[in-house]
């Protein structure tokens, strides 16, 4: 799922509101940019029940607001574009249900989506086929719904996560969301951090240090965060599901028991927190 991730992007969301054109002004070609730009899109809302909240080792009283926004992110760089996380319900279903699609992500969480990702991309001048790269923080159902729309993009994926996506009897994923990626141009990033050589904890997407994919495995085998160095906002981290509610981090609660590896998640949290402390970067 995904929620501190939205908190992590609040500063960028402010920049987005300033950057978005009026809804009636739909551009016909992507705008040229001179520096890194981030767009944050509304890809729905998840509402967990009590069990769905307490799996994160926090209570509904501690959390207060239990709803979880589902953001999708477009990163625009002078050398290309990156789509990061692509929603919980496919656009085709949202359109078929008159822009008010509902689904159960799992027995403890209900999802509602009222706007298509495609329409929001068009609002800022892009079509899915315009996007240079597509990548996800991880492959759970609520992050992958529109991957098929980006089959023309180069898919950036960690080897362990790609294997996880097509693993048999995996209830946490929906392979129908990304069947088209099997034929996409793919760049596989090695995240086997136990090896002395060949390991690649970080991937520099555009080669200038402004957009970095950093390994944070545990929630899934190839979970990762995205580091952005924005000219006006400064550096920020989009944390995926490293945490789900801010209170998990505030109260230093242990990772959920249903993580792919709770022990690895805890280790990744320590690594990321140390990195944030050294760089003074907001999460």
Tens digit of pLDDT for each residue in 40-78? Answer: 999 999 999 999 999 999 999 999 999 999 999 999 999
- What CATH number has the domain bearing residue 112? 3.60.15.10
Mean pLDDT for the stretch of residues 86-110: 94
pLDDT score at 281: 86
Other C-beta atoms lying within 10 Å of the C-beta of residue 145: 31
Q: What is the pTM of this model?
A: 0.88
Nearest in space to 133 (alpha carbons), one of 206, 200, 49:
206
| CA-based torsion, 13, 17, 18, 21: positive or negative | positive
Under the banding of pLDDT at 50, 70 and 90, the label for residue 190 is confident
Under the banding of pLDDT at 50, 70 and 90, the label for residue 27 is low
Mean pLDDT for the stretch of residues 261-271: 97
* Domain boundaries, position 272: 4-279
Domain count, the chain: 1
DSSP states along 118-171: HHHHHHTT--GGG-SEEE-S--SHHHHTTGGGGTTSEEEEEHHHHHHHT-TT-T
Cα–Cα distance for residue pair 32/123, rounded to 1 Å: 15
Nearest in space to 164 (alpha carbons), one of 195, 205, 136, 187:
136
């Amino acid at each position: 799922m995904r929620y501190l991730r939205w908190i992590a992007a609040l500063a960028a969301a402010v920049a987005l509101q300033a950057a978005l054109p009026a809804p009636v002004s739909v551009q016909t070609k992507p705008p040229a940019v001179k520096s890194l730009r981030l767009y944050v899109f509304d890809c729905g809302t998840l509402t967990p029940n009590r069990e769905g909240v307490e799996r994160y080792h926090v209570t509904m009283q501690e959390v207060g607001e239990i709803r979880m926004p589902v953001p999708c992110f477009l990163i625009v760089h002078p050398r290309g574009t990156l789509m990061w996380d692509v929603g919980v319900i496919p656009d085709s279903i949202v359109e078929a249900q008159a822009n008010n699609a509902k689904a159960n992500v799992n027995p403890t969480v209900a999802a509602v989506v009222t706007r298509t990702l495609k329409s929001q991309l068009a609002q800022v001048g892009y079509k899915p086929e315009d996007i240079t790269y597509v990548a996800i923080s991880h492959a759970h159902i609520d992050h992958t719904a529109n991957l098929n729309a980006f089959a023309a993009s180069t898919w950036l994926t960690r080897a362990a996560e790609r294997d996880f996506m097509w693993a048999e009897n995996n209830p946490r994923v929906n392979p129908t969301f990304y069947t088209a990626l099997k034929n996409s141009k793919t760049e596989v990033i090695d995240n086997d951090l136990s090896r002395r050589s060949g390991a690649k904890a970080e991937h520099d997407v555009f080669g200038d240090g402004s957009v970095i994919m950093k390994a944070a495995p545990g929630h899934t085998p190839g979970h990762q965060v995205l580091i952005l160095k924005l000219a006006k906002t400064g550096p920020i981290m989009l944390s995926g599901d490293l945490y789900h509610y801010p209170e998990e981090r505030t109260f230093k609660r242990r990772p959920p028991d249903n993580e792919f590896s709770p022990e690895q998640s805890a280790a990744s949290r320590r690594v990321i927190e140390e990195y944030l402390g050294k760089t003074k970067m907001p999460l």
